[in-house]
Amino acid sequence: MELLKKRISEDGRVVGQDVIKVDSFLNHQMDIALLNEIGKEFKRRFNGEDINKILTVEASGIGIACIAAQYFNVPVVFAKKTESRNLDEEVYESKVFSFTKSKNYNIKVSKRYLNSEDRVLIIDDFLANGCAAAGMMDIVRQAGARLVGIGIVIEKGFQNGGKMIREAGVRLESLAIVESIKNNSIIFSEEKKGENNK
């Protein structure tokens, strides 16, 4: 998605060897016009698929998933990371290692909001080693729901998450794939002709 790649090139910042900060438009301040285009692009890519629910994880995924959901006309369920007395007792739960915080946490989804009738699209902001995606895939599996695909805004192609998901036979649509980071600049994967990219 050219608009997104242009924005990452202009406003993204590299931290250390492998972290991309996009706080000015995605992870802190949010550019809603851009998020609308991202939502439309997810809809374009998954058009015709039988999706009745979008699953994401708090916090950064929520805004992206909610805007995309308006184009799919489906509800969003977000996995909770924080302990809360408000959460139902009957939950699906999975352990996730956080790439940015370097620690494990549990994600939980109430059994009320995901079941074997559901056809789920997972949406998240970044894909690095795939731990967050694997946790959500595990929750979809526990619910007996059907995983239709995974939509990612920024995939870091030099980490293993994309490979893991594709090898699991799951449809993965990443709107921008970063191939490498060299001398603080972000290099994107070449899009192959005929690929489902804009």
124 lies in the site for ligand 5GP, by CB under 6 A: yes
14 lies in the site for ligand 5GP, by CB under 6 A: no
152 lies in the site for ligand 5GP, by CB under 6 A: no
142 lies in the site for ligand 5GP, by CB under 6 A: no
Reduced to 3 states (helix: H, G, I; strand: E, B; else coil), residue 43 is: helix
What the block records as the tokens of 35 is: 């998020």
Q: How many CA atoms lie within 13 A of 159 on its CB side?
A: 18
Among 60, 94, 174, 189, binds ligand 5GP (CB under 6 A): 60
Among 100, 115, 180, 185, binds ligand 5GP (CB under 6 A): 100
Nearest to 31 by CA among 59, 69, 3: 3
CB atoms within 10 A of CB 97: 14
99 lies in the site for ligand 5GP, by CB under 6 A: yes
Residue 144 near residue 114 (C-beta atoms within 8 A): no
172 lies in the site for ligand 5GP, by CB under 6 A: no
Distances, alpha carbon 134 to alpha carbons 58, 97, 146, in Å = 15, 10, 15
Among 74, 114, 120, 131, binds ligand 5GP (CB under 6 A): 131
Q: Of 121-129, 143-151, 163-171, 183-191, which part binds ligand 5GP (CB under 6 A)?
A: 121-129
What the block records as the tokens of 122 is: 């997972």
Residues that bind ligand 5GP (CB under 6 A): 19-21, 27, 60, 99-100, 124-133, 161
